[in-house]
Amino acid sequence: MRRRFPWTIAAAVGMVAVLVLAISRIDLGETIREVTLPLRHDDVIRQQAARFDLDPALIAAVIYEESRFQDQTSDAGARGLMQITPDTADTIERLSGGETFEYEDLANPDLNIRYGTYFLDYLLDLYGGNVVAALAAYNAGPTNVRAWGGPELELDDIEFDETRHYVENVLERRDEYREKHPSDLGI
């Protein structure tokens, strides 16, 4: 037993050393950031932000609020990372002059982000750059935003609690993306 004891201690120390080395190689801050505020497809986000002269943190925040960066289909038929409905996709297709769109294409992250960013830019133009109005329209539709004040809409004017919370959450996430992912987003 005395002969095995030193080897047991040596093996335990070796395992602890390997474990410490493995943990030291993990960027804990990056891991926590990825869990709490994920960011995927940052290359596409940067590209589309540059194309439409939009804040990439705003695009990332919309994606986060819509889908948490997970491809999914809602009960209303909204699809993909930016949760685009078939009606909205038809509107984007009509406005952009496209002719080859298939609804299944909304599952493609690149196309979904391009379409969602196009629509977000369209809404920002429609409401004179009013981010609150554009986000409210992205969530509840332009008809509701028109009734609530259109380009003059302020957060307190939003009549749907769900939409008001949506806008508040997107604006808060936008600030977090600016703070926590500036280099990833090219800010």
Any idea where the domains of the chain sit in the sequence? Answer: 1-36, 38-185
Each residue's pLDDT tens digit, 8-54 = 666 666 676 566 655 556 544 444 445 569 999 999 999 999 999 99
Rounded to the nearest angstrom, the gap between the alpha carbon of residue 60 and the centroid of all alpha carbons in its chain is 4
Q: What tokens does 149 get?
A: 């004040």
Q: What are the pLDDT digits (tens) for 68-101?
A: 999 999 988 999 999 999 999 999 999 988 777 7
Q: What's this model's pTM, rounded to 2 decimal places?
A: 0.82
Residue 33, token pair as written in the block: 């950031």
- CATH classification for the domain delimited by 38-185, as one of 3.50.50.60, 1.10.530.10, 1.10.10.10, 2.40.340.10: 1.10.530.10
- Write down the residue that tokens 């987003």 correspond to: 185
- Using CA atoms, how far residue 39 sits from 33, 61, 67, in Å, is 9, 9, 11
Pairwise CA distance, residues 114 & 117, whole Å? 5
Q: Strand pairing partners for 84?
A: 79
Looking at the annotation, which residues are catalytic?
66
